[in-house]
Amino acid sequence: MNGANRPLALVTGASSGIGTELARLLACDGHDLLLTGRTVATMQALAAELEKHGARSAVIPADLSKPHAAAELAQAIENRGLAVDVLVNNAGLGAVGRFDHIDARRVSEMLHVNVVALTELTRLLLPGMLARGRGKIMLVASTAGFQPGPRMAVYFASKAYVLSLGEALAYELRGTGVTVTTLCPGATATNFFKVAGAKKIAAQPMMSAEAVARAGYRALKAGRRVAITGILNNVLAIGARLAPHSITLPAAAALMSRR
Q: What CATH number corresponds to the domain at position 32? A: 3.40.50.720
End-to-end CA distance of the chain: 48
The answer to whether 88 and 10 are in contact (CB under 8 A) is yes
The CA distance from 87 to 112, in Å, is 18
Q: How many CB atoms lie within 10 A of CB 127?
A: 9
* Residues paired with 87 in a beta bridge: 10, 137
The answer to whether 94 and 110 are in contact (CB under 8 A) is yes
What type of residue is 147?
Q
Domain-embedded: residue 1:
no
Domain-embedded: residue 92:
yes
pLDDT for res 211:
95
Domain-embedded: residue 2:
no
- Say how many CA atoms lie within 13 Å of 50 toward its Cβ: 30
pLDDT for res 191:
63
Dihedral (Cα; 114, 232, 15, 115), 10-degree rounding: -10
pLDDT for res 156:
96
* Residues paired with 89 in a beta bridge: 139
pLDDT for res 233:
85
Does this model's pTM top 0.85? My answer is yes
pLDDT for res 246:
76
pLDDT for res 142:
96
pLDDT for res 243:
75
Domain-embedded: residue 50:
yes
Burial of 5 (0-12, 13-18, 19+ CB in 10 A): exposed
pLDDT for res 259:
30
Element (H, E) at 110: helix 104-111
The CA distance from 183 to 139, in Å, is 6
> What is the domain extent for residue 116?
8-256
pLDDT tens digits, one per residue of 187-240: 887 666 556 555 555 556 788 999 999 999 999 999 999 999 988 888 878 877
Query: Choosing from 155, 161, 171, 217, which is the catalytic residue?
Result: 155
Instruction: Assign 257 a pLDDT band (cuts: 50, 70, 90).
Output: low
Cα–Cα separations (whole angstroms), residue 54 to 27, 28, 105, 145, 187:
7, 8, 41, 36, 32
pLDDT tens digits, one per residue of 78-136: 999 999 999 999 999 999 999 999 999 999 999 999 999 999 999 999 999 999 999 99
What type of residue is 100?
D
pLDDT for res 114:
98
Q: What is the DSSP letter of 37?
A: S
Domain-embedded: residue 3:
no
For the chain, what percent of residues have pLDDT higher than 70?
Answer: 92
161 is catalytic: no
pLDDT for res 180:
98
* Count of structural domains within the chain: 1
Domain-embedded: residue 175:
yes
Domain-embedded: residue 34:
yes
Instruction: Select from 193, 184, 171 the least CA-distant residue to 259.
Output: 193
Domain-embedded: residue 96:
yes
| Sheet hosting strand 86-89, strand order edge to edge | 57-59, 32-36, 8-12, 86-89, 135-140, 178-184, 226-228
